[in-house]
Each structure stands twice: as C-alpha cells, then as structure tokens.
Amino acid sequence: MKTKIQIFSALLLLLTISLTSCNSSGNGFSLSGNLEGLTDGTIYLTYSSGSLKTDTVLVKEGKFEYSNPNLTEPLAYSLRIEGKERSYLRFYADNAKMTLTAHADSLSKAVISGGKTQELDYELAERTRALQDKHQVNQLRGELYGRNGAKPTPEREAEINALLDKFTQEYEQLKLDFVKENPKEFYSAVTIKQMSSGKGAEEIEKYLSMLDKSLESTSIVTDLRKKLDEMKKTEVSLDKFIPDAHNLVYRVDDTYKGKQHTEIVYLATLTDNSVCALQSSGNVIIIDQSGKAVKTVNTGLKSKPSAIATDETDNIYVFGAITQPKTIESRGRTSQILDYVGVECFVFSPKGKKLREVKLEGVVTATGARVSNNHILVADTRGRHIVIYDAQTGEKKSSIENLRTCCGILDFSIRNNNEILVANLGAFRVDSFDYNGKALFSFGQRGTSLDEFHGCCNPVSVGFLSNGGIVSVEKDPTRIKVYSAEGAKKIEGIDELVKGCSHIPVIVDKNDNIYLASKNEGLIKCSPVKQ
C-alpha cells in the first residue's frame, strides 16, 4: 500500500514539474503591467474567444498581474482603465510571459514586450509610418479635406487622389512583402485577413497560398476558407453578369435644369419619365425631363424623410425613419441622442392625394426603397438587411440578411423586376438576390482600378439599364461608372458630389437616362451616347 502511495506521489510530482515547465516555456498567457499615473484602480481586458468576454483586474500601486492559461492561439485584446474610457489599448497576446509599461493617460504609447505576435505588429506599424511619411499622406489628406481652410481646385484634388492611390498600392505591396518574410507567423494570418476584406475569391485564394501550411488549422484561416467557399458559389466575371450590354458610353446633359433642386435625399421615376425627388423637408417634387418642377406634394411626414418609391400605376410611396430621444452613457459621459425605432410609409396617388399608410414591422431605418411586383422592399442599414413586404398588407414575406453596411448607408435597385441588386458597400461589391433572399451572383472588389471600388466603402448606390448594363455610384471621390461586358467606363464631367461618408441616390428612367442627387449640387442627368 505504501508503495502505491509513493508511486502516486512521484507521478503527481512529475506532473506538477511538467506543468510548471510548460508554463515557464510559454504555455499560457501572462501579463505583468506597470501603469504610471494610476495608484489604485480597475482595468478591463476584453477579448473574443467564441464570444466577447471581459476580465476585470485590480491595479495596486500602479501594478497588476493577469493570466489566461487557455489560449490555443494568439488573441487580440483591448485594455481600458475604469474612469478613462476615452483611452484604450489594443494588443496581441501570445502563450508567453509579457510585460506592459504605460502611462494611464496615454495608453496608445504603451510598450508591450515578450510576445512574437505583438512584436510583428509593431514592426509592420513602423514600416507603415515610414511609407506614410514618404508619401506625405497626412499632409495630402489635410489639403484634400481643407483642414487649413483652403479648398483645393478640381485639378489639384484629382492630383491628390492619384497620389493617395499610389500610396495605397505601395501599402498593399508592403503588407504582401511582410507576409512573404513571415509565412509561418500567426500575425501573417492576421494581415491576410485584413487584406482580404473587400477582395474577390481569386485574390483571397492567392493571399492564403502565401501562408505556411502550419497555419491552416488556425481560426483565422479556417474562417477565410469557409468564406472563400461561399464566395465561389456566386462570384462571376462581368461578361457573365452583364452578357448583353456592350461598350456603353454616357455624358452629362448640360441642358438639364436640375441644379436648382437641392436637399434631395432620394429619387424615383414615374411612367412618363418624370423624376420624383424626396427632399429633407419631407416634400416630394415632381420634375419633368427638362429639370423643371411641375408639382410639389406636401406629405405631412413627421419622421425623418429617407426614401421614396413608385409603383407601375405611379402611386408614390414615401418613407421616413421614426426617432425618439434616448439617454446613453459612453466613455464616462451621459448624453441624449435620437434613436431609430421604426419606419412609417405613406402612399399617395399620382395627383398627390394621400391614399393609405402601410405598417412595416422589422425595420428601423429606410435608407433605400423600391416597389416591384406588388412588393415593397426596404433597406435597413441598422439591421443590415433588406426586408420584402406585401405591398397591400405590409406583411413580411422574406429578407436578405447579413449585408455589409457602412457609414449608415444601404441601397439597392431592381433588375428585370425579379432580381435585387444590392450596393453592398462594406463588402466592396454588387450582390444579386432573388425575392426569397437567395444569393445569385456578385461582382467587384476593393481596389484603385476603374473596375474596382475604392475608398473606405463603396459603391453607395447601384442602378440597372434596360440592356442589362449596371450603374454604380462611388463617394469621396465621386465616381459614376457604367458597366458593360467589357468592364467599367467612368462618366466624365461630374464634380465631387459629396464629402466623406454620404449617400448619393441614383435612379434610371425608361429611356436609360441616369439621374444623380446631391444635397448641395442638386440633380444631375446623364444620357446615353449613341454609337
């Protein structure tokens, strides 16, 4: 019996030594912190491991200790100090003993050591700063957005955008070179994930091939492989997405008198090719093909005007987002905001008589709308979906979910009365769905070439032409492109319509004229050029 106890004790001792040895060699994450400017207090360490989790750690005399022995791979953390929520720090945790030194009032300047993943993050950030300095990126952006009070000329603006595009291209190559230097490191998988945002399936597959096979089982690569498989089911080339439209050319109609119509938030057309324009006041203006306002409808909308649509009998559907005051607490401050809580929809006759109200459940914003085949379709940027209703009863029929919204923008169009084209701006693509929400086709990716979509998120709007061609609208800088089977052509002669993250509504009439709305620049008409 004594021998069995001795053997058990010896095994227990060996197991303890083994565990201690593993921990000291990096099995498990530990963080020793030294926070100047903070005697005692509390910090919050937030990370995602299947779900979002937050650990609370006490700080004593400026020091704290934290550990997470369950890391299976490097993990991104966010650190905040109680009472100083305006400041936070992001870093990568490894299965290693790491240290943090910082001042409580300037967490962004913290020094973290002991982890390979974080060291590579620092290295890439330093290379990025050097490239930004080389291209004078901060100065160029300051000039572009008039931070010094002077607005650049259109010629200088085009020059600045070209210089920033060159920086973007070199930055992409810098990251690719970094991955090539470190193919086995987890941080390279992080970099590939970032680069894959907004890219097409072919590009993502090329990126993944740069990583060492040892990273295949990581959560990042596994998720990217799943995304890739889904994308391959719907992604097509332009000649397949637009098989019948060829070499489309458009020009701005300089005779059109639409610049007088400002504060327009959304557009629709009537069967006689007149334009219905919803203004921020809630009024609807009917504008003829010359640009003259021929009728104004006072809708009595009490919500925030957001979208307008028409049906085949020229009834006009006006949408507004209903808001109510809400108290929020953020970063230690309490403030009042207007929160979106629902959407109202009023229907008017072609003569402007109010016919009825349609109750729409399940949406709290209406950033885009269409009426087609006895359906009302509403884009809800807050819910990241497009909901499809019965036009008479308002009953929800189906929806398109998990769209990549950005900047509070989500818009779409209808092609051939049975296909929904979505300007999926956060994904940098145009996606096609049927009325049941099933994905059909998609095209486009993030980039600086004419066939690609640029900026922080684009396109913001999309339209269709009777011959199957597609119109896409990009913001900041404004690019209006017409896609045929041969690719994209930019419509020249259109000034910058918006600055920053703002929507540019588009509508196409039965003669394939394209109308664009800008709150400040009014209404612009582009007409096809016969060839």
* Total-model pTM: 0.85
Rg, Å, the chain Cα set:
28
Taking a C-beta distance cutoff of 8 angstroms, is the pair 479, 490 a contact?
A: yes
How far is 258 from 216, CA to CA, in rounded Å?
56
Q: What is the DSSP letter of 244?
A: S
- Tell me the two tokens of residue 442: 């998609």
pLDDT in tens, 350-373: 999 999 999 999 999 999 999 999
Q: Residue 476: is its pLDDT beyond 60?
A: yes
State how beta strands 250-252 and 522-528 pair.
Answer: antiparallel
* pLDDT for position 329: 64
How far is 287 from 266, CA to CA, in rounded Å?
13
How far is 35 from 507, CA to CA, in rounded Å?
56
- SS3 per residue for 343-367: EEEEEECCCCCEEEEEECCCCCCCC
pLDDT in tens, 216-256: 999 999 999 999 999 999 998 887 888 888 989 999 999 99
Beta strands in 11-50 (DSSP E): 29-36, 41-48
More confident residue, 24 or 435: 435
Using pLDDT thresholds of 50, 70 and 90, give the confidence band for residue 333: low
* pLDDT for position 325: 85
Q: Where in the chain is the domain with CATH 2.60.40?
A: 2-114
Q: What are phi and psi of 322, to 5 degrees?
A: -85, 130
Residue 70's CB is within 10 A of a number of other CB atoms, namely 10
Q: Residue 282: is its pLDDT beyond 50?
A: yes
Q: Residue 52: is its pLDDT beyond 50?
A: yes
Mean pLDDT of 395-402: 97
Percent above pLDDT 90 for the chain? 79
Q: Please provide the DSSP assignment of 490-507 as one string.
A: E--S------SS----EE
Q: Residue 22: is its pLDDT beyond 50?
A: no
Residue 1, SS3 per DSSP: coil
How far is 119 from 113, CA to CA, in rounded Å?
7
Q: Where in the chain is the domain with CATH 2.120.10.30?
A: 238-323+334-528
* pLDDT for position 377: 98
Q: Residue 412: is its pLDDT beyond 70?
A: yes
Q: Residue 15: is its pLDDT beyond 50?
A: no
Q: Residue 47: is its pLDDT beyond 70?
A: yes
* pLDDT for position 416: 84
Q: Residue 106: is its pLDDT beyond 50?
A: yes
In order of 140, 158, 187, 488, the CA distances from 161 in angstroms are 9, 5, 30, 19
Q: Residue 11: is its pLDDT beyond 60?
A: no
pLDDT in tens, 284-320: 999 999 999 999 999 999 999 999 999 999 999 999 9
Using pLDDT thresholds of 50, 70 and 90, give the confidence band for residue 332: low
pLDDT in tens, 64-105: 999 999 899 999 999 999 988 778 899 999 999 999 999 999
Q: Residue 18: is its pLDDT beyond 70?
A: no
pLDDT in tens, 139-171: 999 998 887 778 888 889 889 989 999 999 999
Residue with tokens 């006009």: 316
Q: CATH assignment of 238-323+334-528, given 3.20.20.210, 1.10.150.530, 2.120.10.30, 3.40.50.300?
A: 2.120.10.30
* pLDDT for position 327: 75
| Fold of the domain built from segment(s) 2-114 | Immunoglobulin-like (2.60.40)
How far is 90 from 78, CA to CA, in rounded Å?
4
* pLDDT for position 13: 36
* pLDDT for position 358: 96
Taking a C-beta distance cutoff of 8 angstroms, is the pair 445, 198 a contact?
A: yes
Mean pLDDT of 373-379: 96
* pLDDT for position 417: 80
Using pLDDT thresholds of 50, 70 and 90, give the confidence band for residue 378: very high
pLDDT in tens, 506-527: 999 999 999 999 988 899 999 9
Mean pLDDT of 409-414: 97
* pLDDT for position 10: 40
* pLDDT for position 475: 94
